[in-house]
Amino acid sequence: MTSNTTAASVRIEIIVDVPIERAFKVFTERFDRIKPREHNMLGVDIAESIFEPRGGGRVYDRGVDGSECQWGRVLAYEPPTRILFTWDISPRWQIETDPTRSSEVEIRFVAEAERRTRVELEHRHLDRHGDGWQGLAEGVRGDQGWRLYLQRFAAATC
């Protein structure tokens, strides 16, 4: 896996030894299995993460109590080569309700051989989230904010 991160984007690519159709299908249909669970914005454990496979679809987590947290909107669904969705999560890992402050995630699938696919992920326009330090300065006040933030970070890096 290689990652190539620039000022306002994160880019990662990976090679998987499966055909392109299969790679696309696993990514979109099994999103629940591949998305790390650590970043949970629901008050309860996540039962399932859902990627709705169509333009205009939602990307959301469903809690064990049935509550839902939508954190993305599908902008493009083009099997088996491309998906594009918004990232409506602020730098403090809270839902961003202002769509102008969302970044976006594009995933491209490129067939390298019959059973070999390159998957390129780009999370871009991070600058649209605005100045992260504004949130940081708020979070810094009070240990509760910090403890949560650091706990989330520690969980994400395990």
Q: Residue numbers of the site for other proteins (CB under 8 A)?
A: 1, 3, 5, 7-8, 10, 12, 14, 16-18, 22-23, 26-27, 30, 33-36, 39, 91, 105, 115, 119, 121, 123, 126-127, 129, 131-133, 136-137, 140-141, 146, 150, 153, 156-157
Phi and psi of 22, rounded to 5°? -65, -45
Q: Least distance from C-beta 36 to other proteins, angstroms? A: 5
Residue 104: Cβ within 10 Å count: 20
Q: Least distance from C-beta 131 to other proteins, angstroms? A: 5
Closest to other proteins by CB, 18 vs 65, is 18
Q: Least distance from C-beta 41 to other proteins, angstroms? A: 13
Closest to other proteins by CB, 45 vs 115, is 115
Q: Least distance from C-beta 4 to other proteins, angstroms? A: 10
CA atoms within 13 A on the CB side of 143: 0
Residue 111: Cβ within 10 Å count: 15
CA atoms within 13 A on the CB side of 67: 10
Radius of gyration of the chain (CA): 17
Are 41 and 94 contacting, i.e. CB atoms less than 8 angstroms apart?
Answer: yes
Closest to other proteins by CB, 74 vs 105, is 105
69, β-bridge pairs: 61
Closest to other proteins by CB, 47 vs 136, is 136
SS3 call for 10: strand
Q: Least distance from C-beta 63 to other proteins, angstroms? A: 19
Closest to other proteins by CB, 34 vs 65, is 34
Amino acid at the residue 3 = S
